[in-house]
Structure 1
């Protein structure tokens, strides 16, 4: 198709046959990628870090979001703030991507100096009449939810972040994720479009054949299955699954824990998310190979180990919180065929490696799973760019979230590019 005959982004998105995957153009075109970044990563709320990234006053985390960049800062009053990573003089980057600790934010180009509250404190050679008060760093809208730092680069951020906050703050409260530290973190660049990364994360059709480490603790029935033509053995397993789920939920609710599923991904919703407390297989304690806690120092002030997996999914992140640790992943698009997947393993702030936990036991499930998913996304992306690709049907049993995501994506694209 010649450049002159290219369909618009919205036209391609709305051409998708219901119940089927997205057209390959939505994954491979540069213009589509650029619109995606603008709409879904600049105008919507995205997860950009955790409070453990900046544990002390003066700590800074610089996060690049394609051409944009932000500084996440803990100020002298222990507040989490975010600013555009752009000097108000001639636009130099204040910090390269990564973490650091500062007393003040000093531009490396001409040494304009900013306080942690964003105010411009010092400039040389600007004259006595120069008004510093109108040259503060440009703030970025920020919302901290249970240790998760959400940001929005738009002038008018979607107000429904408050529904996510009201839903998740009491669910995260028992774990007190603000009192954690990062035990380990990884960056993986997956060779695929960001939407394929999210789609891969939101279905477990592939899990049994490709994720032996993950399925040691996941119950496959939680992620959909075909109930038709079950053998007697499979039927008994299904009944056991329902019985275990019911017993676990009853036990958790007696302890005052919130368990119900919230699915918020309708086309008219800006801040889409899903949350659920999932039962863990085996001993039921944690997402580890033996399904027991990896850290004897539990999160918050918890004493009970078998609290399942408190799950949160957004359009650029997924979080799993167990009694002993949390795994927080989020994505940043780099190119049509490149997506950064950043994962952080959080433990109690007082947990000591080698004493309270073994690092390999803590991380091996998701280290392996992330590597496996990277390979799956790569082969998926390459196939969608083949001239022979025609979007196939979603499974109505195991890929229902992919249909919801596809509908949400097309609707938000239309609303935010109108």
Structure 2
């Protein structure tokens, strides 16, 4: 397997032409004295190009879920801040990610979700690739009806594959192939969650086909969604109804080391019930933590909710400096809970509950975007008690930019 890297040369001098480096250094200080990321990190289009390289190309990021392409030949395009990609399910039922460009004349191969029969065929000159990315057909390359050429080596023109990994149905990619191996990357989170779920439990999750997905378009930078998700400080003001059943005092902070994730947990989760019906539960969940739930932001762009009876993936698709698409995917334990008719209404209510929570958050994150237009705002300050996970995310961004 050949993984293609597209690393560009971005240096601190590039960044210093966009913002004052000292502003970033102020982020990585003790929380009592730290400022947040400066305004330019949310408002400057030139900064977004730098961030695309340093964050979205250099790190493991999320671009979708495997259940969205369930069958061999299923394919979806994805635009990563201008970089065209393809997600495809191959005939061995594995997931492959390629750059969405024909090796011949650079034509974009697919532009909408589809099911391919046997090949990925370029609409321009019909050069075709198998689902492993190998170039297998070059019509008329040697002249009319001559499909071979001694002067052309097909093996040098295969699709450019992107380093990828599927974990808990989530598709991660590392565009520049320069991050640590995924198993090492995810290990701190798996270790943390080992008292809730083990590797066998991970295989039990099933995506809900009826009330398993929704998306929201928000007018703000992608980072605001992560910052907001990390903390419970905003519960009384933004989520008053949720705060009645699970308030600040029921929550605790999560700061994963090495510095790859942060978030919050609750000690007061109550399983949704419809009559006497409940969802199935993870079989190996620690019996002393039956009411625990955890809400992790795995940097940079995915938020995960882990409960004894369901699991969700809330991942971010940055569209522009001030526009983000939020994708919510819902999972349950076993197919009966995920797709059985008896629990359909319970799934509907659970999906509505989480959608209402996420819609409530829009006011907060769009309000922060509008506020960043203030020339006197210095990146803000942090509560030493309430904002530790959010500060951790700011430090992670600043460190990777520098």
TM-score, normalization by structure 1: 0.77
Which ranges of 4 or more aligned residues in structure 1 deviate by more than 6 Å? 292-295, 299-305
Asked if 1:264 corresponds to 2:251, the answer is no
- Distance across 1 between alignment mates of 2:20 and 2:183: 26
- Distance across 1 between alignment mates of 2:392 and 2:123: 46
Distance 1:301 1:95, change over 3 A: farther
Asked if 1:402 corresponds to 2:390, the answer is yes
Asked if 1:355 corresponds to 2:342, the answer is yes
Q: CA deviation at 1:118?
A: 1.1
Match of 2:140 in 1: 125
- Distance across 2 between alignment mates of 1:293 and 1:10: 58
Q: CA deviation at 1:378?
A: 1.0
- Number of aligned residue pairs: 364
Match of 1:13 among 5, 10, 24: 24
User: For 2:354, what is the secondary structure of its paired residue?
Assistant: helix
Distance 1:167 1:403, change over 3 A: closer
Match of 1:28 among 43, 56, 59: 43
Q: CA deviation at 1:220?
A: 2.4
Asked if 1:309 corresponds to 2:293, the answer is yes
Aligned pairs for 1:193-232 within 5 A: 193-215=221-243, 218-221=246-249, 223=251
Q: Which consecutive residues of structure 2, in runs of 5 or more, have no partner in the other structure?
A: 1-15, 143-147
Match of 2:203 among 176, 185, 194: 176
Q: CA deviation at 1:317?
A: 0.8
Question: Does the 8 Å contact 1:199/1:402 carry over to 2?
Answer: yes
Match of 1:257 in 2: none
- Distance across 1 between alignment mates of 2:343 and 2:72: 27
User: For 1:199, what is the secondary structure of its paired residue?
Assistant: helix
Distance 1:58 1:214, change over 3 A: farther
Q: CA deviation at 1:352?
A: 2.9
Question: Does the 8 Å contact 1:191/1:338 carry over to 2?
Answer: yes
Match of 1:46 in 2: 61
Match of 1:376 in 2: 364
User: For 1:36, what is the secondary structure of its paired residue?
Assistant: helix
Match of 1:234 in 2: none
Q: CA deviation at 1:332?
A: 2.0
Q: Deviations over 1:197-254 (max 9, x none)?
A: 21111112111221145446645235459xxxxxxxxxxxxxxxxxxxxxxxxxxxxx
Question: Does the 8 Å contact 1:321/1:327 carry over to 2?
Answer: yes
Question: Does the 8 Å contact 1:60/1:99 carry over to 2?
Answer: yes
Q: CA deviation at 1:67?
A: 0.8
Distance 1:160 1:9, change over 3 A: farther
Asked if 1:327 corresponds to 2:280, the answer is no
Q: Which consecutive residues of structure 1, in runs of 5 or more, have no partner in the other structure?
A: 226-260, 267-271
Q: Deviations over 1:359-378 (max 9, x none)?
A: 43121122112212122111
Q: CA deviation at 1:161?
A: 5.0
